[in-house]
Structure 1
Amino acid sequence: MAATTDDNGPAIPPAIESAWGLRERPPKGPRPGLTVGGIVDAAVRVADTEGLAAVSMSRVAKELGAATMALYRYVGSKDELLMLMVDAGYGPPPGPAAPEDDWRAGLTRWAWAEHDVLRQRTWLLHVPITGPPITPQQLGWLEDGLRCLDGTALAEGERMSALLLITGYVRNEATLTAQITEGSRAAGIEPGEMMPAYSRMVSRLIDPARFPSLHRVLTSGVLGQEDNPDDEFVFGLDRILDGIEALIRRRAV
């Protein structure tokens, strides 16, 4: 499928056209019941239940009871399918900040909404990011985040940078949590038991004279406590928002 071109700007790739409903469905064929949306929904179901590695055009075709080649009449490639899956996987944006919320409460809600999506659908973290958001749902998320900063003294570029900082933090925390969870389960350890086990092992390995700061952390008992990843998420998000708040105050002077 070739990209659409005109005199008003760069060519629009087929995947983006499909995401925005700008591409007409193919002429009637042997499986007229197939649609781009139905194919994407089936691919998301496979990813939700079997992981991203299980998603292929043939596996999705099997999910739909269709021939693999029939899918290519609607979705040109697996890369195109992945782009559409990410948009569908994120789902509708969380909505702008409530009238009673200030910018900080709004961005906190926005960050937690993305946090919850990525915790539920960890396969989203395995899809490579190939560029800035361009599909409808993703731009909707961006719009809602920007609206949270309406009325602040930040310049438009600073607002975009603030959202990039927050979403980068959310993705990093979600990736770290998912990898630790997968690693601990592979080792037969419940995720909440990993840090206590880690603390005991490090205590056996280090020399307090060589690692005095780490030794003080170990003796405080903080590493031996059952780890709640949400506590770490709250701490990091609050520190980022503290920094944005300091910048807003400085810009308002």
Structure 2
Amino acid sequence: MELLKGAPVSAAIRAQVEEELARIKGPVPRLAVIRVGERPDDLSYERGAVKKMEAFGLRVQTYVFPEDISDETFKAEFKTINEDPDTAGILLLRPLPGQIRERDIEAMIDPAKDLDGISPVNIAKVFSGDSSGFAPCTAEAVIEVLKFYRIPIEGKRAVIIGRSMVIGRPLSMLLLKENATVTICHTRTREIQTVCREAEILVAAAGKARMVDETYVSDGAVLIDVGINADENGALCGDVDQPSMEARRIALTPVPGGLGAVTTAVLAKHLVQAALGVLP
């Protein structure tokens, strides 16, 4: 088993960010991270994003609101952040609590500041193949890893486990844009292991700890683990049962140490692009 580690990919993106940052004449771009409540996964992602922005020489400010904040109050607060001229980009940690109408927030966010591709404008661009919109950072990070390690995408059979609008569906569009042949699996997919074993590129984005074991892959496959989970002992793990893959002739992104670092690097890249007005 070959490990496709995220650190060298992140370092390559950092070099690109530093080059683009040198072109900015005004203030260093500032990211607004918006969190409602204290969900452990949100806290983990927030810590990673803040650390990455600071390491890349970018500014970041977190806005934290109580979990029981009303829909009306949150919208007013979000509007202020969204319209702040010093805010170059926004990362909204989701899902939001049930009392907040998340779709209204998605419609409110300025597409030019929507670094994680939640705006209907950016989603439409991703699905139409228009590269002038921001794609979700995790989906784009998958493409970054494949390209960094010079893994061919064109003509390859790619299978994605998971159909969410955060990863599965937008990633399918990004892979199609690279001329892969894409299949999306989900909870109703019959004989899912058989379908996955046909994949030359398999992306595990089911959100279920260690769901994907050796029965899901064929030798020679590239396996991208998107999952961030805690196992029964509280240890961090992905959607892939990595120990079961040790003897397999595959390439795998580990968890931790894999896609997470690339995702936050893509977020930093998007922030600088937003400040430069490159996208959308």
User: Scaled by the length of structure 1, what TM-score is found?
Assistant: 0.26
User: Scaled by the length of structure 2, what TM-score is found?
Assistant: 0.25
Q: Identify the structure with the greater helix proportion.
A: 1
Q: Identify the structure with the greater strand proportion.
A: 2
- Computing the radius of gyration from Cα coordinates, the structure with the larger value is 1
